[in-house]
């Protein structure tokens, strides 16, 4: 396989809420079960139970998690589903492979995400989720694939984002919005909500200082150019203050960047959320 194609595929399944297979079922007021489907951007520990090299179960992953231990999250601390749970007043969901996920805990929800799962090639899962009872489904678009430190390390000369990968995102995301609108029209209700992850990230990637970051090019944990080579391991370079780095490792945002992303999901206007943000959804559902 061509190396460039290989790396591009990795970005599609490893970066932020970057692909359309990161799907979050948002709870309604009377039934607050919260289910997550996706890749390493939203995996909260399923890969700990699988035979895979895509793991985040060792230091320094989890260094800023409340326990200061690696949990399987590809983050220095909390990831996006954790922060959404905080915002909507729910307990964090457990990985579906966690033995502690019993019937009572399922009332909270479950996380089915797994690092490295790849991209879905059809829309059938959306309808299956609806048929299973999901009444709010957040589908995130493709983020800035060409701007992650791993891409910069491999293909950027002066820290510029890879134009071809950025163009791929620009082609894909409007079509996702069209698909969401089509699905809602066919169902006759606002079930599916699209999140503009590209814009949510580009805000702080294009102007990191405005958001309190010192860089959006160099990962906190890694090695090589932009700390974008290889994996984050105990022998990697590690920044002392994760709050001033937009990227935690070569592919994944820091917890603080994740909080900025979730903020756009919660209160962002139609530039970020179509047709409405999560706060509006929660308000509407509380009245029904």
HSE-up of residue 256 (Cα within 13 Å, Cβ side): 19
C-beta neighbour count of 154 within 10 angstroms: 17
Q: Token match 């591009």: residue? A: 8
> What CA–CA distances, in Å, run from 22 to 133, 136, 213, 236?
18, 14, 26, 28
Active site residues: 40, 249, 252
Half-sphere exposure at residue 174, Cβ-oriented, CA atoms within 13 angstroms: 4
Neighbour-count burial of 279, counting CB atoms closer than 10 A to its CB (0-12 exposed, 13-18 middle, 19+ buried): middle
What angle do the packed helices 80-88 and 255-267 form, to 10 degrees?
50
Phi, psi values for residue 211, rounded to 5°? -110, 10
Work out the angle between the directed axes of helices 278-286 and 80-88 (0-180°, nearest 10): 40
175 φ, ψ (degrees, to nearest 5): -70, -35
Q: For 57, phi and psi rounded to 5 degrees? A: -110, 20
Identify which of 51, 157, 177 has the alpha carbon closest to the alpha carbon of residue 114. 51
């Amino acid at each position: 396989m061509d190396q460039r194609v290989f790396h591009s595929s990795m970005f599609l399944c490893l970066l932020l809420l970057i692909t359309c297979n990161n799907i979050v079922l948002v709870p309604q007021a009377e039934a607050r079960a919260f289910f997550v489907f996706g890749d390493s951007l939203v995996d909260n520990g399923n890969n700990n139970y699988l035979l895979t090299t895509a793991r985040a179960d060792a230091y320094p992953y989890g260094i800023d998690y409340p326990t200061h231990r690696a949990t399987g999250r590809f983050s220095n601390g909390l990831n996006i589903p954790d922060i959404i749970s905080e915002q909507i007043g729910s307990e964090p969901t457990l990985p579906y492979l966690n033995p502690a996920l019993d019937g009572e805990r399922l009332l909270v929800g479950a996380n089915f995400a797994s690092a490295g799962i790849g991209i879905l090639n059809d829309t059938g899962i959306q309808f299956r989720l609806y048929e299973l009872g999901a009444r709010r489904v957040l589908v995130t678009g493709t983020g800035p694939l060409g701007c992650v430190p791993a891409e910069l390390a491999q293909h950027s000369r002066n820290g510029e984002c890879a134009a071809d990968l950025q163009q791929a995102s620009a082609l894909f995301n409007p079509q996702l919005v069209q698909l969401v609108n089509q699905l809602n029209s066919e169902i006759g209700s606002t079930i599916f909500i699209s999140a503009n992850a590209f814009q949510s990230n580009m805000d702080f990637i294009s102007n990191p200082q405005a958001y309190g970051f010192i860089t959006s090019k160099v990962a906190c944990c890694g090695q090589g150019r932009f700390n974008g080579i290889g994996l984050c391991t105990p022998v990697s370079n590690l920044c002392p203050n994760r709050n001033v780095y937009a990227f935690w490792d070569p592919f994944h945002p820091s917890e603080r960047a994740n909080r900025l992303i979730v903020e756009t999901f919660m209160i962002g206007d139609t530039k970020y959320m179509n047709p409405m943000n999560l706060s509006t959804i929660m308000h509407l559902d509380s009245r029904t």
